[in-house]
Amino acid sequence: MAPPLLTLKDIHLTFGGTPLLEGAELTVAPGDRICLVGRNGSGKSTLLKIAAGMIQPDTGERFAHPGATIQYLPQEADFTGFTTVRAYVEAGMGPTDDPYQAQALLDELGMTGDEDPHSLSGGEARRAALARVLVSKPDVLLLDEPTNHLDLPAIEWLEDELKRLRGAILLISHDRRFLENLSRATVWIDRGVARRLEQGFAAFEDWRDKVLEEEEIERHKLDRKIVRENEWMHGGVTGRRKRNVRRVRELRTMRREVSEQRQVTGNVRLDVAEGGTSGKLVAETKHMAKDFGGRPIVKDLSIRIMRGDRLGLVGPNGAGKTTLIKLLTGALEPDSGSIRLGTNLELVSLDQKRDELDPNWTVAEALTGGRGDQVVINGKARHVASYMKDFLFQPEQRRTPLRVLSGGERARLMLARALAKPSNLLILDEPTNDLDLETLDLLQELLADYPGTVLLVSHDRDFLDRVVTSVLAPEGDGSWSEYPGGYSDMLIQRQGEEPKKSIGDRDDGSSALKASAQSAAPVAANAPPRKLSFKEKHALENLPQTIAKLEADIAKLSKRLDDPALYTRDRAAFDKATADLAKAQAALEAAELQWLELEELRVAFEGV
């Protein structure tokens, strides 16, 4: 067995009096593909920085193989001291690296290398940072949210590059599909401890749930034992004194164990403030077109959006998704064609850039608009500290300025602001950025139950598959097409359209998505299928009991109606029993149909 390239042992680190890491351990061997997962604030990025040698722990050991090349990709690139992107990328090369490799990599990423790194967009900055860490083909690659700001073709390109990389990879990402496609082992940071599963992310969530369930059982056993020992204590400490003293000592130890146990971080509670019901028609376009500077952004688009639709907009950066959203919501007039908006629309938008957040605001001011200490949700006033708890903010963070919040905390704050406003039309622009996987699950459930309409812009393939009912994608030269289903369904429908192009070949920023669909579609058929949502799982598990109860009710009512004297003896009781029987039979038929549909979905998604 090859010696490890990187080892962290018994890592302890405390920030602000709260232990962040307590005995965390990590081993990276040649060829490893490890994903690092955990709740926002659990210490994933901090542990990655310790692995990179950028942060010193309070205690513990870090060992890096002397001959190993380690490259670290931070969430935000630092271009200080570099006048061109090429110079920035070349700084990541070793003395024996091929000098032409940097330019070749930049060409693949659609960059010349002459760009000013201080004027790059978010997507361009991320591609430049990726080129810098990939150019030297490192032995260990540490990646912190590598897909942030990347469009779908760039994400798929990065997946291909990382699959070909011979070195070991340790990565953090909120993109489920990215993790499933790349990881072969999972390290879960939970309450300061790193637990390792020798399987990829696809197996993580079931394993995590099992670990937490077993932990809850052990905690319950300990609680019951403490109760028994307390009962013994109240009976008096007499008789065999040595044994009794030992039991008192053990009881103190058990109580200390319970008091010192770090509880699992609570889940975000997501509730959306519902507006009035919109008209059945939300928006309808007929032959709509829009140009900018002679370049067609939208051409001859005819589409109808109905109440309850979940429309996903996909495409490379620059394809025109933001412009299309503005056209569909009436914020921008088309050059030709028409757009008709429905009645009683109450629109709330979640902007990925978070430009509306003043960094000098406090958390409370951002939620209340600086007006008092109350937040009104669905007509009911709540204290801002109580509402903050729903999004995992502590009461003492009320006066925390936004500039010191982490990316995940800012993302949760934007969600809290958006969901507090009454709406029946949600515009979500990259809502998954910086959210942990558990919060993404809850956001997915909220959108599934949301009675209004959702327009979603996202590069997260798994989230699109779980949420949207149709996808609107660019076909090039301003043309857009709507595909029923999620992102994977779109890829299947697009098979055989045209050969793949590199990222650098993007003409108007739209053709690469269509091209990448051809290469990705066969993979999509074999990729891990999406799982049933929590709501669907819950229904599938509980429907058999519902069906059994309805069958019992029907049998009871039928037996009662079998009494030939009931009609003449008690006409009102007969009529009520007849109505109840018809109602129960209808409910049984609906429940059986729902169970059948969900079971068919389970078989289709899980293949079992």
Interval 168-217: pLDDT, tens: 999 999 899 999 999 999 999 988 899 999 999 999 988 998 888 887 78
Tell me the C-alpha to C-alpha distance, in Å, between residue 399 and each of 260, 402, 591.
28, 9, 50
CATH of 281-346+422-526, one of 3.30.70.1900, 3.20.20.10, 3.50.50.60, 3.40.50.300: 3.40.50.300
Question: If you average pLDDT over residues 376-400, what whole number do you get?
Answer: 81
In this prediction, residues 76-99 reach a mean pLDDT of: 91
Select the more confidently predicted residue: 395 or 454.
454
Strand 310-313 to strand 453-457: parallel, antiparallel, or no bridges (unpaired)? parallel
Neighbours of 597 (CB within 10 A): 13
Q: At what angle do helices 241-260 and 204-234 cross, to 10 degrees?
A: 140
Segment 111-147, tens digit of pLDDT: 999 999 999 988 899 999 999 999 999 999 999 999 9
Beta-bridge partner residues of 292: 295
What tokens does 383 get?
């204290």
Q: For position 64, what pLDDT does the model report?
A: 94
- List, in sequence order, every residue forming a beta bridge with 484; answer none if it has no partner: 470
Please state, for a pLDDT cut of 90, what percent of the chain lies above it. 38
> What's residue 69's pLDDT?
94
34 pLDDT exceeds 90?
Answer: yes
| pLDDT score of 502 more than 80 | no
| Residue range 573-601: mean pLDDT, rounded | 81
**Residues constituting the chain:** 608
Q: What are phi and psi of 474, to 5 degrees?
A: -75, 145
pLDDT for position 237: 44
Residue 113 CA from chain centroid, whole number:
33
Burial 42-66 (b: 16+ CB within 10 A, else e): bbbbbbbbbbbeeeebeebebebbe
CATH class of 534-606: mainly alpha
Instruction: Give the per-residue pLDDT at 52.
Output: 95
**pLDDT value of position 228:** 62
Of residues 153 and 410, the one with the higher pLDDT is: 153
Q: What is the pLDDT of residue 595?
A: 78
Token pair in block for residue 156: 């798929």
531/200: higher pLDDT:
200
- How far apart, in whole angstroms, are the C-alpha atoms of residue 412 and residue 397? 13
Of residues 287 and 431, which shows the higher confidence score?
287
pLDDT digits (tens, 9 = 90+) for 413-438: 888 888 888 888 999 888 887 777 87
- State the number of CA atoms in the 13 A half-sphere of 421 facing the CB: 18
E-state strands within 125-255: 140-144, 168-172, 185-190, 193-197
pLDDT tens per residue across span 213-253:
887 787 766 666 656 656 555 554 444 444 455 555 655 56
Gap between the Cα atoms of 559 and 538, Å rounded: 32
pLDDT at residue 500 in the model: 44
Distance, in Å, from the CA atom of 69 to the CA atom of 95, rounded to the nearest integer, reads 12
Residue-level pLDDT at 353: 59
Predicted pLDDT at 527: 45
Query: Lowest-pLDDT range, 83-92, 201-210, 233-242, 567-576?
Result: 233-242
CATH 3.40.50.300 maps onto the chain at 6-205, 281-346+422-526
Q: Could you tell me what percent of the chain has a pLDDT over 70?
A: 81
Q: Report whether 508 contacts 318 (CB < 8 A).
A: yes
pLDDT given at position 501: 45
CATH architecture of the domain covering 6-205: 3-Layer(aba) Sandwich (3.40)
C-alpha 372: how far from its chain's center? 32
Q: Where in the chain is the domain with CATH 1.10.287.380?
A: 534-606
